[in-house]
Amino acid sequence: MHLAKNLLTAMIGKLRLTNSLTRKKELFEPINPPEVGMYVCGPTVYSDVHLGNVRTFISFDIINRYLKFLGYKVRYVRNITDVGHLLDNGEDKISKKARLNKLEPMEIVQKYTNDFHSVMKIFNVLPPDIEPSAIGHLFEQVEMIETLLSKGFAYQANGSVYFDLTRYNKLYAYGKLSGRKIEDLINQSRTLEGQDDKKNPLDFALWKKAAPNHIMKWKTKWSDGFPGWHLECSVMSTKYLGTQFDIHGGGLDLKFPHHDCEIAQCLGASDKEPAKYWMHTNMLTVNGQKMSKSLGNAFLPWQLISGNHGMLDRGYSPMAIRFFMLQSHYASNLDFSNEALNGSVKGYTKLANGIRILKEIIYPKHDSLNVNAALINQINKICDDCHSAMDDDFNTALTIGHLFNLLKKVNSLYSKQIAFTDINKATFNRMKTTLLTFTEEILGIKPEKEINGHNLLNILLENYVEAKESKNYKKVDSLRQRLAEEGITVKDMKDSVGWAYNE
């Protein structure tokens, strides 16, 4: 973005990433450079986006930003699942929510898509280049089913169409991404309702005949039904990125069966391995325990922001949360605790203050320099280290460490421990550009007011009113404090809550 063109060119060809398919760290060599195609499985829009999703999309946001920074022409596709994602009892997640709320399924889809977009915006996640939806690609899904039927990789049974894994396994190996063996899977498989039409219990649905009371269904020659969940991603990645593209990503929980099924569908339809590199983000834990609704330790993004959850001591600003997430590698587990989050607030504040100071510093004019060559080398080395850390499988944690090392030099300049005459203008400019570009453009950490402002204020005020209404005074106090941190004073009036920016 801002670095010299020759420097950008030098960076290309050094990036290495962990490929889940080969289980190795590999040199990134796109199929058609400078173009890069990246597909990431998006959310199923039937409820509030959970924090695990936020982490996944922040991780791929970093990957998208860094690839673009390196000079690649990235086409980033992230889908919206609006049909076909079934519960264990066979009911569609969106249909169920629509039935319970007496709404049109598309009202549910719209509401949670809008909510998802605002959460992404709050965390400064850039939108993808294409955001296709499953319902918007029904024709293409039917087409792929026909191709799979004509090639003998699918069969019809009682109005449904299933993928034929027995036939597939004669040519390819199902489960190679997750490393699962088909015999073990057969032993573990459960027979679910309406699945007895299958030849093999592991065969998965491409088209499912709908029960009479099922709301979301479409007419095809097979039946009034709906597409299987795995199909949409194969169809939409092929449509927008071609039969072979560079990166396919998603959360670790999608590796099996979703991603193994996607590979099977694509190989069956085109005889081509869809993605060259598969990347997976790891899961979230809270105080070392898996985050789950049943354990009562799963908090939603807005709860983490407002502090409105029993596990949380206080709320945290979206940029501090983003900073917190980037302090672990995307492929490692991310553990939430009040201590770790508070540590991140300190780190984020330090970084934000440093950047603010840096923006104000201009290299002064000198008659003569008395340069310190060792110091100049040191500064240049730290700038190089920022690139190397990102080139090493997008190691954001290490990058942040190097940025802090650069900040120390900035602070020394500011406090006059280092004289401007010690370093030349070029070195100062490189230090400034590296710090600003890596912090704001690549890591996406910007001053909170520039990103949020009103959005954040609304979340905090809504929670404040709710806490007051439910007479949860501990939360009222903690939210009042959070609002003060954002420079806002709340005023309790008789029937409402007023607010004002502090002078």
Which CB sits closer to Zn ion, 136 or 347? 136
* Spatial CB neighbours of 356, under 8 Å, sequence gap ≥ 6: 447
Which CB sits closer to Zn ion, 42 or 307? 42
The distance of closest approach from Cβ of residue 229 to Zn ion in the complex, given in angstroms and rounded to an integer, is 8
Which CB sits closer to Zn ion, 233 or 304? 233
The distance of closest approach from Cβ of residue 179 to Zn ion in the complex, given in angstroms and rounded to an integer, is 19
- Rule CB under 5 A: say whether 45 interacts with Zn ion: no
State the DSSP string of 316-383.
--HHHHHHHHHTS-TTS-EEE-HHHHHHHHHHHHHHHHHHHHHHH--PPP-S-----HHHHHHHHHHH
Among the residue ranges 181-189, 225-233, 332-340, 403-411, the one whose residues contact Zn ion (CB under 5 A): 225-233
Which CB sits closer to Zn ion, 259 or 387? 259
* Spatial CB neighbours of 140, under 8 Å, sequence gap ≥ 6: 235, 236, 239
Binding mask 355-394 for Zn ion (x = CB under 5 A): ----------------------------------------
Alpha-carbon gap, residue 452 to 351, rounded angstroms: 18
- Give the amino acid at 387: H
Among the residue ranges 27-35, 37-45, 278-286, 424-432, the one whose residues contact Zn ion (CB under 5 A): 37-45
Map tokens 């998006």 to a residue: 42
- Rule CB under 5 A: say whether 483 interacts with Zn ion: no
List % helix, strand, coil for the chain (3-state, nearest 5): 50, 15, 35
The distance of closest approach from Cβ of residue 41 to Zn ion in the complex, given in angstroms and rounded to an integer, is 3
Nearest to 96 by CA among 44, 43, 46: 46
Alpha-carbon gap, residue 125 to 397, rounded angstroms: 18
Among the residue ranges 28-36, 138-146, 178-186, 228-236, the one whose residues contact Zn ion (CB under 5 A): 228-236
Q: Which of residues 286-345 bind Zn ion (CB under 5 A)?
A: none
For the purposes of burial, counting CB atoms within 10 Å of the CB of 380, is it exposed (0-12), middle (13-18) or buried (19 or more)?
Answer: middle
Among the residue ranges 85-93, 230-238, 345-353, 390-398, the one whose residues contact Zn ion (CB under 5 A): 230-238
Among the residue ranges 39-47, 113-121, 335-343, 429-437, the one whose residues contact Zn ion (CB under 5 A): 39-47
The distance of closest approach from Cβ of residue 372 to Zn ion in the complex, given in angstroms and rounded to an integer, is 54
- Give the amino acid at 412: S
The distance of closest approach from Cβ of residue 40 to Zn ion in the complex, given in angstroms and rounded to an integer, is 8
Nearest to 283 by CA among 336, 323, 321: 336
Map tokens 């339809």 to a residue: 269
Q: Which of residues 398-417 bind Zn ion (CB under 5 A)?
A: none
The distance of closest approach from Cβ of residue 492 to Zn ion in the complex, given in angstroms and rounded to an integer, is 47
Which CB sits closer to Zn ion, 50 or 322? 50
* Spatial CB neighbours of 185, under 8 Å, sequence gap ≥ 6: 175, 202
Among the residue ranges 33-41, 361-369, 465-473, 495-503, the one whose residues contact Zn ion (CB under 5 A): 33-41
The distance of closest approach from Cβ of residue 203 to Zn ion in the complex, given in angstroms and rounded to an integer, is 19
Which CB sits closer to Zn ion, 79 or 124? 79
Alpha-carbon gap, residue 412 to 419, rounded angstroms: 8
The distance of closest approach from Cβ of residue 46 to Zn ion in the complex, given in angstroms and rounded to an integer, is 15
Among the residue ranges 34-42, 95-103, 346-354, 473-481, the one whose residues contact Zn ion (CB under 5 A): 34-42
- Rule CB under 5 A: say whether 38 interacts with Zn ion: no
- Give the amino acid at 69: F
Alpha-carbon gap, residue 188 to 182, rounded angstroms: 10
Which CB sits closer to Zn ion, 228 or 318? 228
The distance of closest approach from Cβ of residue 72 to Zn ion in the complex, given in angstroms and rounded to an integer, is 23
Among the residue ranges 35-43, 148-156, 310-318, 330-338, the one whose residues contact Zn ion (CB under 5 A): 35-43
Choose, by CB under 5 A, the member of 3, 41, 269, 407 that binds Zn ion.
41
The distance of closest approach from Cβ of residue 188 to Zn ion in the complex, given in angstroms and rounded to an integer, is 22
- Rule CB under 5 A: say whether 247 interacts with Zn ion: no
- Give the amino acid at 498: G
What is the size of the binding site for Zn ion (CB under 5 A)? 2
Q: Is the peptide bond before 257 cis (omega within 30 degrees of 0)?
A: yes
Q: Determine contact, residues 305/451, Cβ cutoff 8 Å.
A: no
29 SS3 class: coil
Nearest to 279 by CA among 316, 250, 301, 241: 250
Nearest to 135 by CA among 159, 117, 109, 115: 109
Among the residue ranges 67-75, 212-220, 226-234, 473-481, the one whose residues contact Zn ion (CB under 5 A): 226-234
The distance of closest approach from Cβ of residue 322 to Zn ion in the complex, given in angstroms and rounded to an integer, is 24
The distance of closest approach from Cβ of residue 326 to Zn ion in the complex, given in angstroms and rounded to an integer, is 24
Alpha-helix runs per DSSP H in 172-317: 182-188, 229-241, 260-270, 301-306
Choose, by CB under 5 A, the member of 144, 233, 358, 407 that binds Zn ion.
233
Which CB sits closer to Zn ion, 64 or 434? 64
Which CB sits closer to Zn ion, 41 or 49? 41
Site of interaction with Zn ion (CB under 5 A): 41, 233
